[in-house]
């Protein structure tokens, strides 16, 4: 299988109190299409920074990230934005739903931004909500949904445009064990049935127990990369 994401000797530095702080320090990671992968590590290890770089939200200080054959470090802001819209779906721990929109309208929003025609938007929204088990809740605003339902709407929004990659930043952090388990099962099912590539940042052991590949960071470096059965990926 071809690599979907290549992280090559990536460093990301930030200026803090006149000091140079390295959130990532020469990180390397290769992800194939169709993988279900967790990036684990303690707070401050660089998980969110790496996710932001792979999601074209930020650029590395040095090194490069190649997404679906495109070197993102060589793209200007407009091309990065277009790549992000077309290739990537995001799931956030705080859901980031628009409160005045219904579930269906929240899911539809990325398609509106990309200019999809009305009929195709409706078909895709229905299919996405059906895939996360929320077809019957399409007309409900976020305040009428449970936390688990809101996160499932966020997943539907992330996959509605059929991205190459879904990135999730601590997706179970605000969910109880029951809803966290349901969300994990849902995302693993979508990974298997649709071939979607999922990459998560997490320290939630509930998620790690269901993840076939776990990449661990410490102090901005990849310190291990192994499958759940103990096998090493490099």
Alpha helices (H) in 73-204, listed in sequence order: 77-87, 103-113, 118-131, 147-159, 177-194
Dump pLDDT digits (tens) for 42-97.
888 999 999 999 999 999 999 999 999 999 988 999 999 999 999 999 998 889 99
Dump pLDDT digits (tens) for 108-163.
999 999 999 999 999 999 999 999 999 999 999 999 999 999 999 999 999 999 99
Dump pLDDT digits (tens) for 197-207.
999 998 888 78
- What whole-number distance in Å separates Cα of residue 171 and Cα of residue 100? 22
By the 8 A CB rule, do 174 and 92 touch?
no
By the 8 A CB rule, do 166 and 110 touch?
no
In this predicted structure, which of 114-123, 169-178, 190-199, 223-232 has the lowest mean pLDDT? 223-232
Alpha helices (H) in 195-234, listed in sequence order: 205-208
Largest interatomic CA distance in the chain: 54
- What whole-number distance in Å separates Cα of residue 183 and Cα of residue 172? 8
- pLDDT on residue 234: 46
Sign of the Cα torsion 220, 222, 224, 225 reads: positive
Strand, coil or helix: what is 39?
A: strand
Domains of the chain in start order, with CATH, are: 34-62+84-227 (3.40.50.300)
Q: Is the pLDDT of residue 228 over 90?
A: no
- pLDDT on residue 43: 87
What pLDDT band is residue 233 in, cutting at 50, 70 and 90? low
- What whole-number distance in Å separates Cα of residue 17 and Cα of residue 61? 18
In this predicted structure, which of 23-37, 166-180, 188-202, 220-234 has the lowest mean pLDDT? 220-234
Q: Which residues partner with 230 through β-bridges?
A: none
Q: What's the angle, vertex CA 164, arms to CA 35 and CA 31, rounded to 5?
A: 35
- pLDDT on residue 16: 78
Structure tokens that stand for 36 in this block? 């279900």
DSSP class of 164: S
- What whole-number distance in Å separates Cα of residue 97 and Cα of residue 105? 10
């Amino acid at each position: 299988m071809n690599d979907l994401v290549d992280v090559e000797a990536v460093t990301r530095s930030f200026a803090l109190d006149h000091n140079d702080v390295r959130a990532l320090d020469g990180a390397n990671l290769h992800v194939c299409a169709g993988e279900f992968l967790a990036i684990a590590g303690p707070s401050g290890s660089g998980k969110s920074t790496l996710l932001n770089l792979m999601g074209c939200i930020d650029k590395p200080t040095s090194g490069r990230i190649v997404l679906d054959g495109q070197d993102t470090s060589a793209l200007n802001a407009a091309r990065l934005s277009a790549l992000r819209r077309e290739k990537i779906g995001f799931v956030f721990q705080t859901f980031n739903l628009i409160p005045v929109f219904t579930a269906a309208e929240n899911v539809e929003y990325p398609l509106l931004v990309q200019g999809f025609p009305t009929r195709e938007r409706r078909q895709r929204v229905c299919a996405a909500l059906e895939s996360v088990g929320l077809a019957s809740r399409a007309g409900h605003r976020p305040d009428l949904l449970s936390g688990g339902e809101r996160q499932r709407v966020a997943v539907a929004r992330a996959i509605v445009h059929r991205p190459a990659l879904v990135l999730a930043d601590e997706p179970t952090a605000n969910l109880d064990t029951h809803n966290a388990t349901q969300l994990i099962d849902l995302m693993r099912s979508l990974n298997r049935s649709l071939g979607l590539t999922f990459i998560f940042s997490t320290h939630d052991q509930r998620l790690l127990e269901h993840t076939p590949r776990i990449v661990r960071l410490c102090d901005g470096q990849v310190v291990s990369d192994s499958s759940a059965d103990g096998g090493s990926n490099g």
